[in-house]
Structure 1
Amino acid sequence: MTYGHRHTGPRPRPARAAVVLGGLLALLCAACTGGSGGTRQPGQDEQTAEGPIVVASGLDVTGSGSVRQQLIEEWNRLHAGSEAEQAKLVELPGAADQQRSQLLGALQSGSARYDVVNLDITWIPEFAEAGLISPLTVAETGTAADDERDFIRQVHATTVWKDRSYARPFNTDVGLLYYRPDLLTRADIAVDKQPNANWTWDQLYASVKTLGLNPVRSEDLSGWTSQLERYEGLTVNTVEAFADAGVELTDSEGTYSSSKGELKKGLDTLLDRVGRGRVQPAAIRSHETKSLTDFAEGRAVFLRHWPYAYGALEDLMDPEEYAVNRLPGKAVLGGQNLAVTSVTGDSPRAGNARALITFLTSRESERCLLDAGFAATRASVYGSTAKPCWPRVAAALRPAGDAPKAAATGEGAPQGQGPEARAAYIRLLGAALTEAVQRPRTPYYGAFTQVLQTHVHALLAAQRPDTAEAAGRLDKDLRDVFAGR
């Protein structure tokens, strides 16, 4: 596998599948605040290098024993003799759009002292344009440059806005295809579980047709499911369909670059993908938790989901009941990046904050994130010479998955797919990340995703969808959004 470099069977078990899949982070973004330049915040001149270094982050979706908190504690152990270098993790409540609003308000007003912020990758342009986070120096030569180039190229690109890097990749995400070999085999459909046996959408559609599914009755088996509720999951699915159709909405600096004709092509691709007889009818009301439960309980044979679902399924299903592969066509990147706030970046605390980020995104720390259920951001973590997770962090983590392990104990409890399958999964995850695509890069992302969700969800719900008319309305609104109007 080649990584880029960047210089800058048994029936489903409903009772088990009903385990609460909590702690999910919806990837919603509310209306954005644009603007450029930064303002000096209250108390900036008085800052000193005293601890703790405060890291603001959303909740840990993996349910793995809070790997982020464990990494902070490992840093504190390594710097036990220095009060100025101690760190503290503050987890923000609410969904992602609420967290974004909290961070914007706190950083613009100076009401909370955050030194490091863990930002959704789609927020980087907005926070950079508003002057709320500090650019990071990217080494061109030497050991530091080699370390920087170890980040997967597509993932590292999410830290960049207008040719400057504002963060370091912490954990990433990419769409994957989960499927039910047991149900396919029962229908006499040959299943190749090798991770290099990539599905195409046509093959998936053919399997759905062979299964003879009846999507009119939602209680019956349905072909595939995804997250088509009116939230960020719908944006992700739409952008993936647009990318498969060759439709790009913006250039690298957030300028609108599409047209009514291009949008129609993208919308037609999406409608073909989620048409009657293919997608589970309930998908239009599904988010991450609902779609994962439908898959585990046998109401869908195929599922588009994120990497953490691999660990979650260990709690819900027997090893032979599920498998994972690359998503057909294009897959969208997700994840979070660590940035130093502008207030701290201009203070004596900056050096300690940047050193903490370097530790949290190190090869060892990234391996801990992967072991916990996140997707790691470094190419080396997916190779045969990957450094192991910090020993004390590894000992504190329970196996990945967002359903409690205590709910899957005793005779007959799932045991996971084993080390060989796990190694194959890690290889395919690394390969998927190298070819993933980004959502539009813009300081107005919050407004963009709201507009896209509104138009697309209405189209999916229409009895007789007219993609030409929908494309015309969407084109007009997107031109306004990306112009900041």
Structure 2
Amino acid sequence: MTGTGPRSGRRAGVGVLLGCLLTLAPAACTGGSGGTAPPGEGGQAAEGPIVVASGLDVTGSGSVRQQLIEEWNRAHTGSKDRQAKLVELPGGADQQRSQLLGALQSGSARYDVVNLDITWIPEFAEAGLISPLPAGTGAATDDGSDFFPQVHATTVWKDRSYARPFNTDVGLLYYRPDLLKEADMEEDKLPTEQWTWDQLYSAVKTLGLDPVRRDERAGWTTQLKQYEGLTVNTVEAFADAGVRLTDREGRYSSSAGQLKKGLDTLLDRVDRGRVQPGALSSDETASLTDFVEGRAVFLRHWPYAYGALGGLMAPDRYAVNRLPGEAVLGGQNLAVTADSPRAEDARALVTFLTSRESERCLLDAGFAATRASAYEPSASRCWPSVAAALRPAGDAPKRAGAEEDVPKGQDQEAVDAYLRTLEDALTEAVQRPRTPYYGAFTQALQSHVYALLADETPDTDQAATALDRELRDVFAGR
């Protein structure tokens, strides 16, 4: 790559990240952790609330998870010992995983239910930290029959289901119709549900974009900082190239040659897509900021960004479609901890939190619901008290300026089209590797891929050989 491409700007440094336009997560709630409570003795139920540990709510919707917990509590006002309490863990996904592993392994915190990233289920199940669900509570039951099959599959390890799908996620393509219109983009070059990456590259070429600095407009942007966002983007590129890293049992099934194909595909997205030079230091907040402020025409992001954009931009300045090619599945599942003294009550709470009504609440708040029925016109309505307490998704982060200047989001026709797009994307989403060694895998992948992207003269042959060697050890547990 020549010195005028995006990576030369990175080599010199992209400068200090702009101040966050969005505050996508509320302050962490750190109460509720104490000594491990012993199981009830003498047939007596364990005392105290059912404690749910979860990451932060990124929707900015008034904490729908907390509102669902309060709805459960209202339904059990006459039973003190069936009350529930939400504990939100601070930090990113990697930090939350470490906190939960440490707490459950040491018994230093009494959690009855844990909200786990879908990639952690095999690790927590293999370590005996969460309990398999009793027979008759899986996707085949009447209660679970409308979970998206591939979403429910994230709860399963070694043919046993260990959790219930809570909220899901999938990569989407956001774009700026106003910027395309300014450039007199022809109608046949605008994004459609069948768009390919080659069509995105063609659109970027037509726009004449070739940014070197972060303050210049780029073709697209995404999350290439060295964290889980980089893993997601890499796995999506690998999937588009036909690269599958593991089989369904979590055994490594790729090769150096296959990895090179995947890495070349990722570099194409960076180079031919004229990625925003700041993408190598961008997470979800930074990439969304660049998109809002016009430094990228296209954006790869998660569903909650749709609601956030409604509070930040006029409706005619943003639109969304399916991501070209493969899109990776994200989300969280609710599991009951192996040593919970409240297992029966905890399972009842999990069933409530993943009910049809609760899933609709999650969708209304900006999360992607895990049940296909939530997207139907005849869907169960959100619990009335929860619906009344929620702000429209994305309403919390505001633009600078007067309150009355904040946009009100898309009209109902556009929202309905978005929900159809989201449902279709979830139906065909791909998973990241299913393995108890996911933590080691994602760290290894991020390290090698980030070094490759930061290199002015990247050598995908060399990078693929080194990555193949390390992944063979990682997936073997060495």
Give the TM-score, by structure 1 length: 0.88
CA distance in 2, matches of 1:476, 1:131: 29
Question: RMSD in angstroms over aligned alpha carbons?
Answer: 2.2
Contact 1:214 1:277 in 2 (8 A): no
Aligned pairs for 1:361-372 within 5 A: 361-372=354-365
Structure 1 pair 373–327 and aligned structure 2 pair: CA distance change class (3 A): same
Alpha-carbon shift at residue 125 of structure 1 (Å): 0.5
Contact 1:20 1:403 in 2 (8 A): no
Residue equivalent to 1:331:
327
Residue equivalent to 1:113:
110
C-alpha offsets along residues 22-80 of structure 1, whole Å, 9 cap, x if unaligned?
A: 2459xxxxxxxxxxxxxxx8834658343411101111111110100000000000111
SS at match of 1:335: strand
CA distance in 2, matches of 1:52, 1:353: 10
Aligned pairs for 1:154-173 within 5 A: 154-173=150-169
CA distance in 2, matches of 1:265, 1:244: 10
Alpha-carbon shift at residue 139 of structure 1 (Å): 2.2
Alpha-carbon shift at residue 340 of structure 1 (Å): 0.3
Residue equivalent to 2:31:
none
CA distance in 2, matches of 1:194, 1:88: 47
CA distance in 2, matches of 1:297, 1:422: 23
Is 1:59 matched with 2:60?
no
SS at match of 2:105: helix
Residue equivalent to 1:255:
251
CA distance in 2, matches of 1:92, 1:464: 40
CA distance in 2, matches of 1:145, 1:272: 44
Residue equivalent to 1:76:
73
Aligned pairs for 1:338-357 within 5 A: 338-344=334-340, 347=341, 349-357=342-350
Alignment equivalent of 1:305, drawn from 292, 301, 324: 301
Aligned partner letter, 1:54? V
Alignment equivalent of 2:371, drawn from 368, 378, 400: 378
What runs of 5+ residues in structure 1 fail to find an aligned partner?
Answer: 1-16, 26-40
Aligned pairs for 1:166-205 within 5 A: 166-191=162-187, 197-205=193-201
Alignment equivalent of 1:444, drawn from 422, 437, 450: 437
CA distance in 1, matches of 2:243, 2:416: 34
CA distance in 2, matches of 1:480, 1:355: 40
Contact 1:121 1:159 in 2 (8 A): yes
Alpha-carbon shift at residue 283 of structure 1 (Å): 1.0
Aligned partner letter, 2:318? Y
CA distance in 2, matches of 1:184, 1:369: 32
Residue equivalent to 1:284:
280
Residue equivalent to 1:3:
none
**What is the count of residue pairs matched by the alignment?**
450
Aligned partner letter, 1:321? R
SS at match of 1:239: helix
Aligned partner letter, 2:451? A
Contact 2:24 2:397 in 1 (8 A): no
Residue equivalent to 1:7:
none
Alpha-carbon shift at residue 418 of structure 1 (Å): 1.2
Is 1:218 matched with 2:205?
no
What fraction of aligned residue pairs are identical, expressed as a percent? 76
Aligned partner letter, 2:199? Q
Aligned partner letter, 2:231? T
CA distance in 1, matches of 2:401, 2:421: 27
Residue equivalent to 1:132:
129
What runs of 5+ residues in structure 2 fail to find an aligned partner?
Answer: 1-17, 27-35
CA distance in 2, matches of 1:358, 1:42: 23
Structure 1 pair 276–180 and aligned structure 2 pair: CA distance change class (3 A): same
Residue equivalent to 1:104:
101
C-alpha offsets along residues 10-31 of structure 1, whole Å, 9 cap, x if unaligned?
A: xxxxxxx977312459xxxxxx
CA distance in 1, matches of 2:179, 2:242: 33
Aligned partner letter, 1:299? R
Structure 1 pair 402–110 and aligned structure 2 pair: CA distance change class (3 A): farther
C-alpha offsets along residues 192-251 of structure 1, whole Å, 9 cap, x if unaligned?
A: 799964321111111100001121243221101100111111100000000001100011
Alignment equivalent of 2:141, drawn from 129, 145, 155: 145
Aligned partner letter, 2:468? D
Residue equivalent to 1:13:
none
C-alpha offsets along residues 245-304 of structure 1, whole Å, 9 cap, x if unaligned?
A: 110001112110000111111111111111166211111111111110100111100000
Aligned partner letter, 2:428? E
SS at match of 2:198: helix
Contact 1:185 1:191 in 2 (8 A): no
Residue equivalent to 2:386:
393
CA distance in 1, matches of 2:326, 2:116: 24
CA distance in 2, matches of 1:374, 1:479: 35
